[in-house]
Amino acid sequence: MKRIGYGILYTVLAIVAVFQVYPLVWLFFFSLKDNREIFGMSPFALPTDPKWENYVKVWTEGNISLYFFNSVWITAVAVVLTVILASFVTFAITRMRWKLSKFVLGLFMVGLMIPIHSTLIPLFSFFLKLNLIDHPLSIILSYTAFNLPITIMILLGFYYTLPREVEEAAVMDGCSVHRIFFRITLPMTTPVMVTTAIINMIYNWNEFVFINTFISSDQYKTLTVGIQNFVGQYLTDWGAIGATLVISIVPILVAFFILSNRIVEGLAEGALKG
């Protein structure tokens, strides 16, 4: 009976995996077709003559290389800024004694309940006054602010598990608060920092609303909005559109498969005292 149970479980998981993976495989084959094959053959048919030039076209003529570069550096800067600031806040709340620590933590947790769309008009007005519309700093600040609450929440559980004896020994040796944080606490929290960095990276890479609202020039657009422009400009070249979508999906998909275990481990470690 146990073998039968495992057999049914693996069968169900295999079916779910097929449904999850097949759209990605179909998109890849779609990107290797031209309009004649797309509209003249079955949508499930394999490409008879793979059009690899679709990828060359979108990278060189469709400005996708610039969008890709913008996605990389904007995502990286926002992730680093979010993780570092969240570590500062979490350290102050969990390792230092001050009267308003719980109140400040509550303010950050309220941020989890604020819908992104309800902040678009106030943020647009705010950035307009600061001359940050059509500037990458508006995107980086928005990503950082909205990712701080969830990042702090994940870090909290891990910080509560850290032994205070190490920090007390450092204080006895004459370490300042800054040295304790950067030399002792921060290295000890590397696993959960990696987890939060991956989660932030996935969100920032796929984000669309802020980019579409605050950025108008091609100079600072990322892949998510760049694809939208490409679709409008080259509406009939569906193979090139498919190639653009594949380029936008592959980096984050590869990163997720490589580091997915780190996400689970970090979340589990951070939830030990949930």
* Domain-embedded: residue 252: yes
- Whose structure tokens read 């759209």? 23
Does residue 6 form part of some domain? Answer: no
Q: Is residue 19 part of a domain?
A: no
CATH of the domain at 147: 1.10.3720.10
181 domain-assigned: yes
DSSP 31-74: TT--HHHHHHS-TTSPPSS--THHHHHHHHTSSHHHHHHHHHHH
Distances (CA, A) of 267 to 54, 143, 182, 193, 254: 40, 21, 22, 10, 20
Place of tokens 């498969």: 257
The reply to whether 215 falls in a domain is yes
Domain membership flag for residue 45? no
Reading the chain (274 residues) residue by residue, the pLDDT tens digits are 778 888 898 999 999 989 988 988 999 998 888 888 888 777 788 888 888 888 888 888 778 888 999 999 999 999 999 999 999 999 999 888 888 888 998 999 898 888 888 899 999 999 999 999 999 999 999 999 999 999 999 898 888 888 888 887 888 878 888 888 888 888 888 888 888 998 899 899 989 899 999 998 888 988 888 777 666 554 567 788 888 888 888 888 887 777 766 666 655 555 444 4
Instruction: Report the number of distinct structural domains present in the chain.
Output: 1
Q: In the structure, how many helices (H) and strands (E) does the chain have?
A: 14, 0
Q: Which domain holds residue 150?
A: 60-270
Q: Is 9 inside any structural domain?
A: no
In a domain, 190, yes or no: yes
